[in-house]
Chains A and B, each alone.
Chain A
Amino acid sequence: MIPMSHYLILSSILFSISLAGIFLNRKNIIIMLMSLELMFLSINFNFIIFGNYLNDLTGQIFVFFILTVVAAESAIGLAIIVVLYRNKQGINVEDIARLKG
């Protein structure tokens, strides 16, 4: 049987990859959204593992809540990006730097 630490290391690596994806990405906001999605999936992984390990349903129920909330969140995110695209004719990360001071 695979020990639990392996699962936790996997989810932590996924979490770090998604964080790096958000901060290193200099091109497209859509890629940021994908990284965010990956972040929440790695957290879901964590909850499932802990729930399984503790023989407790709460963790698995929490995952469903996260999935729905994140779906709503990315819907709003995409809507905001559409608004940005209309105003700017582009969604490059480097271009959204009008607000400075």
Chain B
Amino acid sequence: MINYLYIFPEIIITSALCFIIVLDLFLPNKLKYISYYLIQLSLIFCAYYIYSHISYLTNNNSELYDTSIFSNIFKIFILLSLAMIFYYTSVFLKYFNIFRTEYFLITLFGLLGMMIMISSQNMLLLYLGIELLSLSLYSVIAFNKNSLFSSEAAVKYYILGAISSGFLLFGISLIYGLTGSLNFNEIFIHIASFNITNGIDNVQVIGLLFALIFILISLSFKFGAAPFHMWIPDVYHGSIITTTLLLSTIPKIAVFVILIKLLTNVFSGLFLFWADMVIILSILSILIGNIVAISQTNIKRMLAYSTIANIGFILLGLSVGSIIGYKAAMFYTLTYVVTTIAAFGLLSQLICRNKPIENISDLSGLNSTSPFTAFLLMFILLSYIGIPPFIGFHAKLFIIQSLVETNNIPLGIFAVLMTVVGSYYYLRVIKVIYFDEAKNVLASTSKLYITGIYVLGLILLGLLPDVLGQLSQYSISNFFNT
């Protein structure tokens, strides 16, 4: 008998979604904020439900849907990040008079897709989760329907996203044909039974390699790793800044979980092959991300390339192939998401000539108009670079440490060197903020209290890196014991 209580978090989100969609129809425009608060409430309640019922949820031993501690921690993290993102989005949309509840509701569909992705133990479920996420992202990007940039970005993301789902499905179909199953555990057992040490003279192993390559290509598309990164700068540039905030944070967590599950669990028998592919992906991402970012003038494009570089670091941690590397990669992912929410959130609250911030030069002389904002932005950028007291430092340190401990010293040196290259474009923004003459009057759309508290939390996290460190240690070791 199926016990539906294990998917109660998803049921909460779905029922809140259905209820608010209908409720919103009957609310006059003045009262639309009620549905916004209800959405926030359902997110917080869902996170609380998972937290308070975590021991019950982990009893689930379903073959289809995994609610282990590992996936629950990621779900809580995604729910809380989304609540933060929704706060920034509502402030931004209200200021520019384009507040529509549909934006949040469509994003909730994406959230549902991510929760299904994270919990999936079956290729069919994985596919449905990824599609639910991408379908809602397509429409969220095209949300600003009067903007040419926005619709162009949506078309680009749509075409490339559809190709990448095609690749994923082709890989899944090959795996299905070779192993006769869609279940992660059964596929794992099948792959382990093939004798791979003899080299790739076996037809089945070649087929499996093809499937692995197809699936890896598709996931790197979604993740934004280097040879498949073309959509990232365009889409980040084209969509409104809070959509960029949404795109650059939580979908990455979900794809990261899928990568960990597929690579280290399902395809662990093919480690010899995927390790090299992941190393190539990460080296290219770090190179392209850091070097192309130098020449960018648009701040959203610059942060897009910095995203690509950060993805490269995460993949570097995955390529190590031991628990210490996975732990470092998870720590890096969480840190990246937390920092990016602060960066884009702060930028979304700044306006220049009654328009959202577009170019780096818009920020010039920020220090003279509002020193507090400049201070916050400097902290966030220093954390991106990886300057010691901030959280970004520990993230980079763990990745490099895991590389050195597994005797991957050349890769470690490469990572350090590229961090130096990367610090150039972050420092340039700090220079523009502090030393350039103010050309524009910058204002903020709201009081920056919440952002201030958030950045304070970021600094505390940097001073106490054990908080995120223990969290990733706990969840990764839990994942590998079960």
Contacts and interface: CB of A to CB of B under 8 A. Distances in A.
Interface of A: 15, 18-19, 22, 29, 32, 36, 39-40, 43, 46-47, 49-51, 53-54, 56, 58-59, 61-62, 65-66, 69, 72-73, 76-77, 79-81, 83-84, 86-88, 96, 98-101
Nearest to B304: A101
B162 A73 contact: yes
Given A62-B124, A73-B165, 16 more contacts: A15-B166, A36-B166, A46-B177, A58-B124, A58-B182, A59-B176, A61-B124, A66-B127, A73-B131, A81-B155, A84-B151, A84-B155, A99-B152, A99-B156, A99-B234, A100-B234
Contact of A96 (B135, B139, B152): B152
9 contacts: A19-B163, A29-B155, A49-B177, A61-B124, A69-B127, A79-B139, A80-B154, A84-B155, A87-B147
B183 to A, nearest CB: 9
A46 B238 CA distance: 36
Contact of B142 (A22, A83, A88): A83
A49 B173 CA distance: 10
Nearest to A42: B170
A50 B238 CA distance: 41
B145 to A, nearest CB: 5
Contacts of B149: 98-99
Nearest to B236: A99
B75 interface: no
The 6 tightest CB contacts between A and B, nearest first, are: A50-B177, A46-B173, A99-B234, A84-B151, A39-B166, A87-B148
Contacts of B182: 58, 62
B454 interface: no
Nearest to B176: A50
B180 interface: yes
A77 B137 CA distance: 12
A83 B156 contact: no
Given A39-B166, A43-B166, A73-B135, A88 B158 contact: no
B149 to A, nearest CB: 6
Contacts of A39: 163, 166
Contact of B163 (A36, A51, A65, A72): A36
Contacts of A101: 233, 237, 296-298, 301
A22 B151 contact: no
B441 interface: no
Secondary structure dominating the interface of B: helix
Interface of B: 124, 127-128, 131, 135, 138-139, 142, 145-149, 151-156, 158-159, 162-163, 165-166, 169-170, 172-174, 176-177, 180-182, 233-234, 237-238, 296-298, 301
B125 to A, nearest CB: 10
Contacts of A86: 145
Contact of A43 (B146, B170, B181, B298): B170
A98 B174 CA distance: 38
A76 B135 contact: yes
A98 B152 contact: yes
A61 B301 CA distance: 42
A24 to B, nearest CB: 13
Contact of B180 (A46, A49, A54, A73): A54
A6 to B, nearest CB: 14
Given A29-B155, A96-B155, A101-B301, A62 B234 contact: no
A72 B135 contact: yes
A15 B170 contact: yes
Contacts of B298: 101
Nearest to B154: A80
Given A59-B176, A73-B135, A40 B166 contact: yes
Nearest to B300: A101
A79 B140 CA distance: 12
Nearest to B178: A50
A29 B158 CA distance: 11
Nearest to A75: B135
Contacts of A58: 124, 176, 181-182
A53 B131 contact: no
Nearest to B169: A43
A59 to B, nearest CB: 6
B148 A80 contact: no
Contacts of A46: 170, 173-174, 177
Nearest to A81: B155
Given A43-B166, A99-B237, A83 B151 contact: yes
B159 A47 contact: no
Contacts of B297: 101
Contacts of B131: 69, 72-73
Contacts of A69: 127-128, 131
A84 B147 CA distance: 9
Contacts of A79: 139, 142
